[in-house]
Structure 1
Amino acid sequence: MGSLSRIGARTLALACAAGILSTGSAAVAVAAPSTTAEIIIIDGYTQTVKESSGTAVLCPTNQVLLGRSHSGDENGSTTYYCGLILIDGQQVRVGAPTWSASQRESNSFFAAPGDHVLVGRQHSGDENGSTRYATATMSAWGRTVELTSYRWSPSQKESSSYSKAGDYEVMVGRQHTGDENGQTQYQYARIVD
């Protein structure tokens, strides 16, 4: 049997990845132009919870956080957007999550350690309640997936916020001040092949 062409291999990898996901998927980014590896990020699992409920949200196995949105006060809804990453057709493996210590939401700042990505978050109560984050490492082809080009999103009002990673990016941090009328920012980093 002959070998698959690069395009055939990519199509097969996308079809396999689509079968893995429990929700509809769409490719977010294809073939990073500045690298030799083909990096594909596919929208995956999405979960919406009541912000104040204390529900711990974790992306499914081998998915990472790509974005978050929130509407209203602490009784409003928060939606988490996870995704799956392929590098040269191989699904990136995401390590076991490690939870951070809790911190007061109204003056919170969290940035994952180097080459770690956010995979979950938990919040209880209002702005005086506690928030914690889950992080993990990523690997492909037997090596750690590295991150570069760390950046913070512009500030936005928490009660009507939406932010999602750009091309070839994953979410690695978040900061918030005040109540639902306070400002929120997200930190993203770019995947290195």
Structure 2
Amino acid sequence: MRQIRTTFAALTGTLFILAIAGVSQATATHAAEIVIIDGYTKTVRESARIPVACPTDQVLLGRAHFGDENGETTYYCGLIVIDGQRVKVGAPSWSDAQRESNSFFAAPQNGVLVGRQHSGDEKGPTRYATASLSAWGRTVELTSYRWTPGQRESSSHSKAGDYEVMVGRQHSGDENGQTGYQYARIAD
């Protein structure tokens, strides 16, 4: 009888260890549920020098512009939710201004765009606001960075794909010049 109890205890211990190993393995391979929700939208006259910044805990998802520097630019912001928790967006940091007609801007690694400001025509200054993302006290990482093909600025529209956020923009020339956008995917 003692031998049966010892064997049962050993078997139970082995099953318990296997069960724990299975839980750890299942946790390690868990794919995060990522949801990006359309949020704040703002339309301004491009040349007006109005800084547009996404509200608290929102990031840029897209931009559209129609016309010349007196035309309208629309900014699309959104919220990111990972496994039911809203991602925190850090305080914005504004870049130095650069001339719009030959501009290139990309957020730092794992940083996202949260705002933009432009003044005047293509010779005028443009600057960008970036921020970091965090959830559960850890940095939210970005992956699969990509640039869109160029499109004519005066009739441009671009929005992030599934699980993506805007991280960069480039433009050359005037309103007839090409604009491209950089997006990155939220890592799961």
What is the rounded CA distance, in whole Å, between the counterparts of 1:78 and 1:87 in structure 2? 30
Task: Tell whether 2:145 aligns with 1:145.
Answer: no
Report the CA distance between 1:35 and its aligned residue: 6.3
Relative to structure 1, the CA distance from residue 35 to residue 177 in structure 2 (aligned partners, 3 Å threshold; closer, same or farther) is farther
| Matching residue within 158, 161, 172 for 2:153 | 158
Report the 3-state secondary structure (helix = DSSP H, G, I; strand = E; otherwise coil) of the residue aligned with 2:161.
coil
Gapped regions of structure 1 (runs ≥ 5): 1-33
Specify which of 88, 101, 107 is matched with residue 112 of structure 1: 107
In structure 2, the gaps of 5 or more residues are 1-28
Alpha-carbon distance in structure 1 between the residues aligned to 2:122 and 2:113: 21
1:46 aligns with 2:41: yes
Corresponding position of 1:3: none
What's 2:11 paired with?
none
In structure 2, the partner of 1:124 is 119
Separation in 2, partners of 1:35, 1:136: 27
TM-score, normalization by structure 1: 0.82
The match for 1:176 is: 171
Q: 2:80 maps to what in 1?
A: 85
Equivalent position of 1:75 in the other structure: 70
Instruction: Name 1:30's counterpart in structure 2.
Output: none
For 1:2-13, list aligned pairs within 5 A: none
Cα pair distance change 1:87/1:77, threshold 3 Å: same
What's the secondary structure of 1:108's corresponding residue?
strand
Distance 1:162 1:156 in 2: 8
Provide the C-alpha distance between the structure 2 equivalents of 1:35 and 1:86, rounded to a whole number of angstroms: 16
Q: State the distance in 2 between where 1:69 and 1:77 align.
A: 8
Query: Structure 1 vs Structure 2: percent identity of aligned residues?
Result: 78
Question: In the aligned structure 2, how far is the partner of 1:97 from the partner of 1:169?
Answer: 19
The amino acid that maps onto 2:75 is Y
2:98 corresponds to 1:103: yes
Q: Per-residue deviation at 1:142? A: 1.4
Q: Which residue of 2 aligns with 1:22?
A: none
Distance in 2 (alpha carbons) for counterparts of 1:177 and 1:36: 39
Between structure 1 and structure 2, the one with the greater Rg is 2
- Opposite residue 144 of structure 2, the aligned amino acid is S
Q: In structure 2, how many angstroms separate the alpha carbons of the residues matched to 1:38 and 1:150?
A: 20
The runs of at least 4 consecutive aligned structure 1 residues that moved more than 2 Å come to none
- CA shift for structure 1 position 141: 1.4
- The SS at the match of 1:128 is coil
Q: Pick from 123, 129, 145: which aligns with 1:134? A: 129
Q: Distance in 2 between matches of 1:35 and 1:85?
A: 18
